[in-house]
Structure 1
Amino acid sequence: MFTDEALDSVSVCSLWRKSRQSAQESRGCQTRAINSTEAEVQTVSTTVSCTQTEPQDQATEQLLQQHLDQPEPPGLKDFLQRVEDAVIRELVRNARSHAFDWFQVNWEDHSQPVSCLHRLQHPSAQERGLHVTSVSWSCTGSVIACAYGRIDDGDWSTEKSYVCTWNLDRRGLNPKQADLVLDVHTAVTALCCHPEQPALIAGGLYSGEVVLWDTSRTQDPVLAQTGLSADSHREPVYQVAWVPLQKRGEFGVLSASSGGRVLLWTVDLDQGGFVLNAAYAMLRQQLPHSSSSSFKARGSSTVGVTSLALSPWDSDTFLVGSEGGLLLRCSFSSQTPAAVSSEGQSVTLRAPAVFSFRPRSGPVHSIHCSPFHRNLFVSAGTDGLVHLHSLLQANPLLSVRVSDSYIFQVQWSPTRPLLFAAATGQGEVQIFDLGRRSLRPAATIDQGGAGQAATCLSFNCQNPHLLAVGRTDGTVGVWQLSADLTEQSPRESSQLEQIANQVAE
Structure 2
Amino acid sequence: MTHLEWDDEFSTMLPFDESVNDTLDMSAVINEIHKMPLVSPIAATKTSADIERENQNRTMKVIQLTEEERDAIMRSDKFSRFFDRASRLIERALDEPADMFVDYSGGDHDDSGNTQRHQLVRFGRDFFDDRWSRRRLVTALDWSPVFPELLLGAYHANDEAPHDPDGVCLVWNLKFQKTTPEYIFHCQSAVTSATFATYHPNLIIGGTYSGQIVLWDNRSTKRTPVQRTPLSASAHTHPVHAVMIAGSLNAHNLLSISSDGKLCTWSLDMLGQPQQAMELTHRQARTVAATCMSFVDENVNNFLVGSEDGRAYAGSRHGNQAGISDAFEGHQAPITSISSHPLRDSVTLSPLFLTTSLDWSVKLWSVKETRLICSFEEASDYVFDAHWSPIHPALFATVDCTGRLDLWNLNQNSEVPSVRTMIPGQPSLNKCRFHSSGSHIAVGDDNGRIHMFDLNEAMAIPHADEWTLFSHTISELRQLAVEQRENDTDALFGQPTVPPIPVIH
State the TM-score, normalized to the length of structure 2.
0.66
Say which of 122, 130, 133 aligns to 1:123: 130
2:233 is the counterpart of 1:258: no
Q: For residue 196 of structure 1, report the CA deviation from its aligned partner.
A: 3.5
> 2: distance between equivalents of 1:454 and 1:318?
26
Q: For residue 309 of structure 1, report the CA deviation from its aligned partner.
A: 0.5
Residue-by-residue CA offset, 1:265-311 (whole Å, 9 max, x unaligned): 1112xx5x354122221224427xxxxxxxxxxxxx52210010111
8 Å CA contact retained: 2:303, 2:315: yes
Q: For residue 119 of structure 1, report the CA deviation from its aligned partner.
A: 0.5
Residue-by-residue CA offset, 1:115-153 (whole Å, 9 max, x unaligned): 2222111212455x211111111112111111111699x
Greater RCO structure (CA 8 Å; 6+ sep): 1
Unaligned runs of 5+ in 2: 1-113, 344-348, 483-505
Deviates more, 1:315-324 or 1:156-165: 156-165
What is the SS of the residue equivalent to 1:378?
strand
Q: For residue 456 of structure 1, report the CA deviation from its aligned partner.
A: 0.4
8 Å CA contact retained: 1:334, 1:352: no
Q: 1:430 to 1:114 in 2, by over 3 A?
A: same
> 1: distance between equivalents of 2:223 and 2:452?
29
Q: Which residue does 1:138 correspond to in 2?
A: 144
Q: Which residue does 1:79 correspond to in 2?
A: none
Q: Which residue does 1:469 correspond to in 2?
A: 443
2:149 is the counterpart of 1:174: no
Residue-by-residue CA offset, 1:304-350 (whole Å, 9 max, x unaligned): 100101112533210011111121110111456xxxxxxxxxxxxxx
User: Letter of the aligned partner of 2:339 in structure 1?
Assistant: H
Q: Which residue does 1:497 correspond to in 2?
A: 471
> 2: distance between equivalents of 1:254 and 1:223?
19
Q: Which residue does 1:319 correspond to in 2?
A: 304
Say which of 207, 212, 219 aligns to 1:209: 212
Q: For residue 471 of structure 1, report the CA deviation from its aligned partner.
A: 0.5
Q: 1:250 to 1:401 in 2, by over 3 A?
A: same
What is the SS of the residue equivalent to 2:198?
coil
Residue-by-residue CA offset, 1:78-116 (whole Å, 9 max, x unaligned): xxxxxxxxxxxxxxxxxxxxxxxxxxxxx9995211122
Deviates more, 1:414-423 or 1:113-122: 113-122
Report the aligned-residue RMSD.
2.7
2:417 is the counterpart of 1:441: yes
Q: Which residue does 1:95 correspond to in 2?
A: none
Q: For residue 238 of structure 1, report the CA deviation from its aligned partner.
A: 1.0
Q: 1:198 to 1:445 in 2, by over 3 A?
A: farther
8 Å CA contact retained: 2:120, 2:419: yes
User: Letter of the aligned partner of 2:428 in structure 1?
Assistant: A
Residue-by-residue CA offset, 1:39-91 (whole Å, 9 max, x unaligned): xxxxxxxxxxxxxxxxxxxxxxxxxxxxxxxxxxxxxxxxxxxxxxxxxxxxx
Q: For residue 220 of structure 1, report the CA deviation from its aligned partner.
A: 6.2
What is the SS of the residue equivalent to 1:354?
strand
8 Å CA contact retained: 1:403, 1:426: no
Residue-by-residue CA offset, 1:214-246 (whole Å, 9 max, x unaligned): 22222366243112011211111111111116x
2:483 is the counterpart of 1:485: no
8 Å CA contact retained: 2:410, 2:473: no
Aligned identity (percent) is 25
Q: 1:480 to 1:423 in 2, by over 3 A?
A: same
2:335 is the counterpart of 1:364: yes
> 2: distance between equivalents of 1:284 and 1:331?
13
Q: Which residue does 1:432 correspond to in 2?
A: 408
> 2: distance between equivalents of 1:233 and 1:413?
32
Q: For residue 483 of structure 1, report the CA deviation from its aligned partner.
A: 0.8
User: Letter of the aligned partner of 1:304 in structure 2?
Assistant: A
Residue-by-residue CA offset, 1:380-433 (whole Å, 9 max, x unaligned): 111121111111211111111241211111110011100100111111111101
Q: 1:159 to 1:179 in 2, by over 3 A?
A: closer
8 Å CA contact retained: 2:313, 2:326: yes
Q: For residue 169 of structure 1, report the CA deviation from its aligned partner.
A: 2.1
Q: Which residue does 1:276 correspond to in 2?
A: 274
Q: Which residue does 1:345 correspond to in 2?
A: none
8 Å CA contact retained: 1:202, 1:253: no
8 Å CA contact retained: 2:205, 2:243: yes
Unaligned runs of 5+ in 1: 1-106, 288-300, 337-350
State the TM-score, normalized to the length of structure 1.
0.66
Q: For residue 445 of structure 1, report the CA deviation from its aligned partner.
A: 2.9
Q: 1:126 to 1:225 in 2, by over 3 A?
A: closer
What is the SS of the residue equivalent to 1:485?
helix
Q: Which residue does 1:329 correspond to in 2?
A: 314
8 Å CA contact retained: 1:157, 1:207: no
What is the SS of the residue equivalent to 2:314?
strand
User: Letter of the aligned partner of 1:206 in structure 2?
Assistant: Y
Q: 1:183 to 1:204 in 2, by over 3 A?
A: same
> 1: distance between equivalents of 2:325 and 2:190?
33
8 Å CA contact retained: 2:158, 2:166: no
Q: 1:126 to 1:244 in 2, by over 3 A?
A: closer
Say which of 206, 226, 231 aligns to 2:229: 226
> 1: distance between equivalents of 2:416 and 2:158?
28
> 2: distance between equivalents of 1:330 and 1:157?
41
Q: For residue 438 of structure 1, report the CA deviation from its aligned partner.
A: 5.5
> Which structure has the highest helix share of the two?
2
Rg larger in structure: 1
8 Å CA contact retained: 1:390, 1:500: no
Q: Which residue does 2:188 correspond to in 1?
A: 185
